[in-house]
Amino acid sequence: MTPANTFPVVVVTGISGSGKSTALKVFEDLGFFCIDGLPSGMSAKIAGLILKQDTKYRGLALGMDMRQPEFLEGWDIAFEEMAAMGISPQVLFLEARLGELMRRYATTRRPHPLESQSLGLEQALEQEKTLLDPIRASADLVLDTSDYSVHDLRRVIQTKWSAIEELGRGMRVHIITFGFKYGVPSEADFVFDLRFLPNPYFDEALRPLSGLDKTISDFVLGSQVGVEFNDRFLEFLTYILPLYADEGRYRITLALGCTGGRHRSVAVAESVLATLKKKGYAVTIEHRHMELG
């Protein structure tokens, strides 16, 4: 029998057309036993059956979404049943911009599960988003797949899984760095504009480097304005995050942006990451546009 506390269970859910089937294929490649389109009422039973075996699988990934008529009604019950079995599932919620979802549906020509004679595709997607907002709010990780190809999505999920594994109880903090010229992340709870900091881009010797390099970090955060900003910014975050946690907030996404998302935002984000980890937060980081800048 496989111990529940050593066998990860991941529920992959989200907006229809956002890439859930692709995500499950990634988990399958990672050694997970995967089931797609599972009725939420069966999830605890399936998890229990898998745990009763001395399985060689690395974990269990369950795809659950609006294709099943009783998906929403059975969601809380399923998680309560799994909790009673000692299972704490982690939820990966996928979403994408409305226009991108409509483009994908036009390409595949598949009907949306909520679409009907009285409800068109756009209205069905908007209604689904509203219905799934409570699940999104409590998810361990939210991933916007709007700008990802199938191969990009595979790479991102593989990279993120190690971070998902490390998430503990309490508030989750997800840090995204981005370039304003490529667009602001739609899933951000807070957006910080860092374009006032010294810009290494104008130094040809520094331009090829990124904020992951110490030379860039020293350039951005070692200046007078950089030192003062970084101290105040970290003080602000360590002050504000516990207040949100006290209000029952489960997850916060911080978006840090500069012009191209390669130098300043990355340097500051790495400083935030190190500080919040020392404070005991479960933190993940995504440098969304670093390779584009």
Q: Residues forming the annotated binding site for ATP?
A: 14-21
Which residues have C-beta within 8 Å of that of residue 138, sequence separation ≥ 6? Answer: 91, 250, 251
Rounded Cα gap, residues 27 and 164, in angstroms = 12
DSSP assignments along 35-79, one per residue: ESS--GGGHHHHHHHHHTS----SEEEEE--TTSTTHHHHHHHHH
Give me the phi and psi of 95, to 5 degrees please: -150, 175
Under a CB-based contact definition with an 8 Å cutoff, are residues 168 and 282 in contact?
Answer: yes
Binding-site residues, in ranges, read 14-21, 65-68
Rounded Cα gap, residues 167 and 140, in angstroms = 8
Rounded Cα gap, residues 226 and 268, in angstroms = 9
What are residue 61's DSSP bridge partners?
A: 10, 34
Both tokens of residue 126? 């908007």
Under a CB-based contact definition with an 8 Å cutoff, are residues 139 and 93 in contact?
Answer: yes
Binding-site residues for GTP, in ranges, read 65-68
Rounded Cα gap, residues 66 and 20, in angstroms = 12
